[in-house]
Every structure is written in structure tokens, then in C-alpha cells.
Structure 1
Amino acid sequence: MISLDPAKAREYIDRIDRFRILVMGRANAGKTTILQRVCNTTDQPEIFNGKGEKVCMFRGICSRLMMCRARGEHNIEDELVFKSNPRFVFHDSRGFEAGSEGEFKMMKEFVMDRAKTTKLDKRIHAIWFCIPLNESHRMVTAAEKKFFDECDTGHVPVIVLLTKTDTLALDALLEVMGDDSDENDAVEWAADVEKRKLNECLVKVNSWLKELRYPPHDYLSLTGMQEEGADCTTLLTCTVNALSEEGLQQLLISTQQSNLGLCIEFAITK
């Protein structure tokens, strides 16, 4: 892991005006929805290539509904930007989860280069790795294990996000209904069962990944993301706390000036 001189890091940070995040995870993991909630929009992002030239717009990260690029033409270098909050730049890792060695190598080279470059305007500042719970039988696959065992992200924190958590609500309700409970009581008890199941998933994922060579910095379960206007304060706070440079923390906070709770919490802790 490289070390950046604090004075030089501060000088670089002062020249950065956009916070850059790599979002990872298999198809249909809810990534597009998370980015929309963070940027407070229902619109799709615009895509720009590494030169800043607009490529196209598409419907859904990792979906088959891409309007301009076919599956094999996806470029991790592309920048995804929402008009509602252009101070965020997102990259999508789509491809390596399918098991292609070539795509994994391309993703790894991008991550290691962008995580360690001293050109901080091109550096990724955080990585969100999405693991959907609607496939609880395979929460952590060989692809996830390969990433956390081989990809050294240096100073860049990786946060595992458990997504599609709403699927646990039905599982919980079916579990309590099976006890011949009154329907009203079952709904109330189901909420507690859902929390227990969610915690169990967190514990399992943590136990599977913590023994690997480059484990995640933190784990977070996201609930209610399917609702427009969902509160992303917990996600943003977790990301702020994971950053090692105060300048980068301030940069992330500056993208969320409308989030009074986050700004107040950051001001108090500092």
C-alpha cells in the first residue's frame, strides 16, 4: 500500500471538485437505484468517456437495456453522471462477475491504477460493492471472493452494500405465518424476524470475506431503496467515516449540502 505525503495530498484535494465512486456487483443488484437515490433523481445517468465526451444515456447499470453499447462493449473507464448532482462521478465494473478472466483482469487493472494514482482528479475515492439478498443461496460467489483476495485498493475504502433487502420481508412473514399466528400479530413479529435475518446475512458475508487478503473496510445493509426519496444518510455517513483524508471527507459532504443531517453530524464529529 502506498503512502501519500499529507501536504501533497492536501494540495491535490484542493484541486478536486468531483467525488468519484466505483460501483461493483453482479447484474440486477440494485446499483442504478442506489445511485439515483444518492443523487435524488429518477432519471438515468449520462455517460462520458475518459476524454469527457458524451457517449450516450442508458437504462440501468448492468442491464440488457443499454441503448448505445452492447454487452461486450462496456467500458469501465466510462463516467456516469446524473444531471441532478454532477459533483458525483460513478464508474461501473460490470463484466467480471460473469467469470471472464479477461474482464476480471481489465477491472483489476482499472481498480489498482485508479486507486493508487497520484492524479487525484482521476482517482476513485471509494468503492461500493453491492451484494443482493434476493439470491441468498449465493450471496458471496467465486467472483466476490476473487476480488477481495486479489485486488489491493490501497487507500480507497471498499464498502460492501447488502441490497434487495426487501426480499427478506416476505421470507420473515412466511416464517411467522407458519406458526398459526394471528395475521395482525404475524405482521408485527415479522419485522423482528426480518431484522434478525438481515443481521444473520451481515454476519455470514462478514465471516466469508474477512479471511480474504483484502477484506472490505465496512459492511452496510440498505433498506427502503425501492422507495423514491429514500434516505441515504447512513450510506453517505459510512463512506465519509471510511475515508482517510479529511479533505476527501469534506469533498463528499459538499456534494450533499441539502442533506442537513449529514452536514450537522460531520460538523459535530469534527
Structure 2
Amino acid sequence: MISLDPAKAREHIDRIDRFRILVMGRANAGKTTILQRVCNTTDQPEIFNGEGEKVDATLVQGSLKRGEHNIEDELVFKSNQRFVFHDSRGFEAGSEGEFNMMKEFVMDRAKTMKLDKRIHAIWFCIPLNESHRMVTAAEKKFFDMCDTGHVPVIVLLTKTDTLALDAFIEVDDDGLNKDDAMERAAEVEKRKLMECLIKVKGWLSKSKFQPHHYLSLTGMQEEGADCTSLLTCTANALNEEGLQWLLISTQQSNLGLCMEFAIRK
């Protein structure tokens, strides 16, 4: 673990007041839901273009749903404006042009000298509701061709709730009473989640630029879902203590997270 020096961290925070994250993954991978949970809201984000001008969200809603909006756009939630999110531009659909635009954005924003424009982390969402194609060719292409440098990439397994139904179906014919069936289903669900994680790690372990971390997100469909594991994983993946403090400072209401990092002086 990195030892945190608050004084040194403060120097970094004084130069950057918002934590910037690129969220990647195919359409309907649960990206917006995760961002809402992190920012503790059910509202849709406000959208700003690369010049900081607010964009009329009604004009881009259709594109948002298809994952085709401009990757340069900044997504900001009123409930926590210390976060700035960017969403990948639908390169998963297989367009070479979209892939190149995404790659150029990543390469530029990972190294830019404009500190307030630099991305600090990448969350790459892989949904488990499409078990036949958990990792697509486009996603493998990203990890083979995109060097994110010092910016950590964290693979998030999303839509894990689909495994609960699969688990109940598996134990339905075992003749168990309700309580035993629920307990058994929970065990099966946990096993299936681990199997999915092992598969994804196996596929991506052959990539040139491998993810820094993997994390399974459960219960994200519920309002008020706890995102401490996601924020902790992201903070641990950062290689600058100033950025760690910047991320933690966005979560002042999360006392457990703040205390965990406060004791690491």
C-alpha cells in the first residue's frame, strides 16, 4: 500500500478539484446505474461538451442509450460534482472509426499536461447477463492495443443479478424446502460468479495490456447500494497518493472509507 502524506496530497488536490473517470463497456452494461450509486442519486447526469458548455440532454438521450454519444462529453451529477465521468463511444459495436476515436482519447487524456483534463482511472464494465459473450472481440482489442500508461484499468463485472435466477433454476429440482433452497441458491450464485471471474481473467490474461484489478459488483440495481468496495479498489489502484486523497475527498459522507485511508499515514 502507498503511505499517504496529507500535506503532499494537498498540493496535488489544490491543482485538481475533480476526479475524472472514463467508464467503458457496451450499451446496457449497467454503467449509468453504477455512476448513480457512486454519486448517491437516481437522477440522470448533466452533460457538458469539451468546452464546458452544457448540452441539452434531451437531444442526446437516444444516442446515450445506444452508447454513441461523444466521448469528450463530461457527465456530472448534481449530487456530487467532484466526479467527472466520460463514457466510451460505442466502439464495442465494431466500428474502426469509433475504436480509433476512443483510443486517441485514452492516449491523450492519460498523458495530457492539463491536469484538470487528465483521466485518473478507467472502469471497464463487462456484464454477466450475456454469458455467451462476456468478453467480445472489441473488448479484447482494447486490452491488446490501448496502453493506458499510469492510468489504472479496473474490470467491473456487472449485471451479476442474472446469476441469482440461474442459481434458483439450478436448485429448483432438488426438492429442498424454501429456506434450504435459498441457502443453496446463494452458494450456487457465489460459485457461478467465481466461475465467471475466472473465465474473464483467463481471457484477458493473454492481453498485451492487462487490467490492473477485477471487481464483481452485486446489488447495484438497488437504490443506496454500497460502493465502498469499488472506491477502495480504485483508490488502491492509483499510483499517486495525491490522487488517492482526491478520490477519498469526494466521499466525505462515507465515513468508513475515509477512516480506512486516514489511518494509513
TMscore range, shorter length: over 0.9
Identity score, percent: 83
Amino acid at match of 1:227: E
User: Where do 1:100-139 residues align within 5 Å?
Assistant: 100-139=95-134
Match of 1:194 among 189, 194, 200: 189
Who is 2:159 aligned against?
164
- For residues 20-46 of structure 1, the C-alpha deviation after alignment (integer angstroms, 9 at most, x for no partner) is 000000010000000000000000000
Deviation at 1:179, TM superposition (A): 2.3
Who is 2:3 aligned against?
none
- Given the superposition, is the C-alpha separation of residues 70 and 48 from structure 1 closer, same or farther in structure 2, using an over 3 Å criterion? same
Could you tell me how far apart the structure 2 residues matched to 1:231 and 1:202 are? 20
User: Where do 1:256-267 residues align within 5 Å?
Assistant: 256-267=251-262
Could you tell me how far apart the structure 2 residues matched to 1:238 and 1:91 are? 19
Q: How many residues align?
A: 258
Unmatched tracts of structure 1, length 5 or more: 1-7, 60-64
SS in 2 for 1:216: coil
Q: Is contact 2:30-2:127 (8 Å) kept?
A: yes
Amino acid at match of 2:33: T
Amino acid at match of 1:19: F
Who is 2:216 aligned against?
221
Amino acid at match of 1:18: R
Identify the structure with bigger relative contact order (alpha carbons < 8 Å, sequence gap 6+): 2
Deviation at 1:200, TM superposition (A): 0.8
- For residues 29-67 of structure 1, the C-alpha deviation after alignment (integer angstroms, 9 at most, x for no partner) is 0000000000000000000011110012259xxxxx816
Who is 2:21 aligned against?
21
Q: Give the alignment's TM-score, normalised by structure 2.
A: 0.92
More helix by share: 2
Amino acid at match of 1:35: L
Q: Is contact 1:25-1:94 (8 Å) kept?
A: no
Could you tell me how far apart the structure 2 residues matched to 1:107 and 1:9 are? 30
Q: Give the alignment's TM-score, normalised by structure 1.
A: 0.90
Match of 2:235 among 234, 240, 245: 240
Could you tell me how far apart the structure 1 residues matched to 2:255 and 2:9 are? 28
Could you tell me how far apart the structure 2 residues matched to 1:159 and 1:223 are? 16
Q: Is contact 2:160-2:193 (8 Å) kept?
A: yes
Q: Is contact 1:25-1:131 (8 Å) kept?
A: yes
Unmatched tracts of structure 2, length 5 or more: 1-7
- Given the superposition, is the C-alpha separation of residues 23 and 170 from structure 1 closer, same or farther in structure 2, using an over 3 Å criterion? same
Who is 1:3 aligned against?
none
Deviation at 1:70, TM superposition (A): 9.4
Amino acid at match of 2:73: D
Who is 1:34 aligned against?
34
- Given the superposition, is the C-alpha separation of residues 102 and 161 from structure 1 closer, same or farther in structure 2, using an over 3 Å criterion? same
Could you tell me how far apart the structure 1 residues matched to 2:64 and 2:42 are? 21
